[in-house]
């Protein structure tokens, strides 16, 4: 199987985006491509067809490659629960919650076994593999038991491309330092460097390219221009602040706010609004002012009770309640839905570690939530309950939650029916909604109905239904075009094949 690994001189240099573009570029050449990241740390999840949980980035990369996402593409997922512990997801299911120290001490051998099994499965099913590293491959205090960079390249026996971000500065030092700290065997895997996020005239970097190649002995495969406003979803919170950056709201735009919770998860629920030209997005942190937006999205969280306590401690909860009293529109998804309720009971201690803890919610919706021991994960299809939605198609999405919520009154409708059960709450003619469904706004008809309701409130013109899937496919094509304009992909494939046949230590 052809394979290559994309590593970086640091975090957030563009590894995930380049892997996504490379998956589409390889697929264009008729290859069946598997994305792979051995260990991902992110609270942005992707639920596979089987109802298993993997990192969002590998799900997106699978879409770009035109293949079905599987747990083998991200066999280990770490979901931070606080500053010291993470929930360990192995092959899409909860394994246990561990501190960083315990994870390194207890999980390493099982981690190696997990990665080997996943790689063997992918090798049997695909023509090529595009592997994404994490952080830097030269974290010297961690490298003796690392599961994400050069150890994975060794297990997969693939060459490495090193990506460096010129936009942050210090690119020569970052490339030189990374190469110097690699062992001779690790260094032999590096077949080239990609300079990413270059702004301005590329002629200005000709001498820089020459210096790298002559002094560091590694080929610069491409100098990739800075690509702003791309359509590919962000991997995690590192890019959230720039992707959903506050814009100056125009009078002819809707403003949608998302509460930027400390343990926010699946912020990609906001992603579809980036494709609506008359929608402005704004993040509101714990110490920010909510203002008077057209709607507020209270998103999912890895720690509902801790994030609720943070909102109460800073006064943001009172701002939100005042906004609702004044007629504001709010949608709570998953943990956000739970917070909007009357009470939350951590019956099993799975949210806070304290079994039986009971706290007051925001009191906006008449629901009570109880946290159970087992997590529910599934791709789901839900039928809208309210009579005004009779003409709309059922909603598709995914669920991933420990809590289970029940209505305390019969005065509000459930939001959806999913098979034999009810989900969520639909109150005040849709002004207040709670649901466990992630990807609500990925449903074109529903998103358009909801936005047009807001537009009508502001006397703005209604908009037609836009196809989000079409926009996503355009994004993958745009990413591949961007990559191939600077990187000779056919030559890269030849270079990978030549490395496989070379005398380099494998």
Give the 3-state secondary structure of residue 279.
strand
Tell me if 343 sits within 8 A of 368, measured CB to CB: yes
Q: Which of 334, 401, 404, 439 is catalytic?
A: 334
Give yes or no for a contact between 339 and 298, defined as CB atoms under 8 angstroms apart.
yes
How many helices (DSSP H) and strands (DSSP E) are in the chain?
15, 26
438 noted as active-site residue:
yes
Say whether 168 sits in a helix, a strand or coil. Answer: helix
Backbone angles phi, psi at 169, to 5 degrees: 85, 165
Q: How far apart are CA 47 and CA 55, in angstroms?
A: 9
User: Out of 19, 23, 401, 438, which one is annotated catalytic?
Assistant: 438
Distances (CA, A) of 373 to 89, 96, 266, 422: 15, 12, 21, 21
* Closest to 181 in 3D by CA, of 141, 208, 228: 141
- Take residue 475 and report the two structure tokens written for it: 């994004």
* 3-state secondary structure at position 366: coil
Nearest Cα neighbor of 330 from 264, 415, 460, 427 is 427
Provide the token pair at 259: 């509460």
334 is catalytic: yes
Rounded to whole angstroms, how far apart are CA atoms 186 and 116?
A: 19
- Those residues whose C-beta lies under 8 Å from the C-beta of residue 214, and which sit 6 or more positions away, are none
SS3 assignment, position 310:
helix
Q: Would you please indicate which residues are annotated as catalytic (active-site) residues?
A: 334, 438
């Amino acid at each position: 199987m052809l394979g290559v690994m994309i590593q970086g001189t640091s975090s957030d240099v563009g590894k995930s985006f380049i892997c996504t573009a490379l998956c589409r570029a390889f697929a264009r050449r008729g290859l069946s491509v598997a994305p792979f990241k051995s260990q991902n740390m992110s609270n942005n999840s992707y639920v596979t067809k089987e109802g298993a949980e993997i990192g969002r980035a590998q799900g997106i990369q699978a879409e770009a490659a035109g293949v079905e996402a599987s747990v083998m593409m991200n066999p280990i997922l770490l979901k931070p629960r606080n500053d010291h512990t993470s929930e360990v997801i192995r092959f899409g299911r909860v394994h246990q919650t561990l501190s960083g120290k315990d994870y390194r001490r207890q999980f390493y051998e099982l981690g190696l076994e997990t990665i080997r099994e996943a790689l063997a499965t992918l090798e049997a099913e695909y023509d090529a593999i595009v592997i994404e590293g994490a952080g830097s491959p030269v974290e010297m205090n961690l490298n003796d038991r690392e599961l994400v960079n050069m150890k994975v390249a060794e297990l997969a026996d693939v060459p490495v491309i090193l990506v460096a971000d010129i936009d942050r500065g210090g690119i020569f030092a970052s490339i030189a330092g990374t190469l110097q700290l690699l062992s001779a065997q690790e260094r032999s895997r590096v077949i080239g460097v990609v300079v990413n996020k270059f702004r301005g005239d590329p002629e200005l970097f000709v001498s820089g390219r020459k210096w790298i190649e002559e002094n560091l002995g590694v080929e610069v495969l491409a100098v990739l221009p800075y690509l702003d406003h791309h359509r590919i979803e962000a991997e995690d919170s590192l890019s959230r602040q720039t992707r959903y950056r506050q814009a100056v709201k125009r009078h002819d735009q809707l403003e949608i706010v998302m509460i930027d919770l400390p343990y926010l998860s699946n912020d990609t629920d906001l992603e579809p609004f980036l494709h609506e030209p008359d929608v402005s997005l704004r993040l509101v942190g714990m110490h920010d002012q909510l203002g008077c937006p057209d709607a507020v999205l209270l998103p999912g969280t890895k720690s509902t009770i801790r994030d609720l306590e943070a909102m109460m401690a800073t006064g943001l909860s009172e701002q939100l309640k005042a906004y609702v009293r004044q007629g504001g529109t709010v949608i709570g998804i998953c943990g956000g839905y739970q917070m909007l309720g009357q009470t939350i009971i951590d019956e099993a201690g799975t949210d806070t570690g304290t079994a039986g803890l009971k706290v007051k919610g925001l009191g906006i919706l008449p629901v009570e939530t109880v946290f159970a021991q087992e997590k529910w994960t599934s791709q789901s299809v839900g039928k809208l309950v309210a009579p005004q939605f009779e003409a709309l198609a059922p909603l598709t999405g995914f669920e991933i939650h420990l809590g289970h919520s029940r209505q305390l009154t019969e005065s509000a409708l459930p939001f959806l029916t999913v098979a034999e059960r009810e989900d969520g709450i639909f109150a005040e003619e849709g002004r207040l909604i709670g649901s466990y469904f992630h990807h609500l706004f990925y449903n074109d008809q529903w998103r358009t109905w909801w936005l047009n309701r807001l537009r009508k409130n502001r006397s703005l013109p209604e908009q037609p239904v836009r196809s989000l899937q079409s926009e996503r496919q355009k994004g993958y094509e745009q990413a591949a075009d961007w990559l191939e304009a600077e990187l000779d992909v056919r030559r890269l494939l030849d270079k990978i094949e030549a490395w496989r046949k070379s005398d380099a230590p494998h």
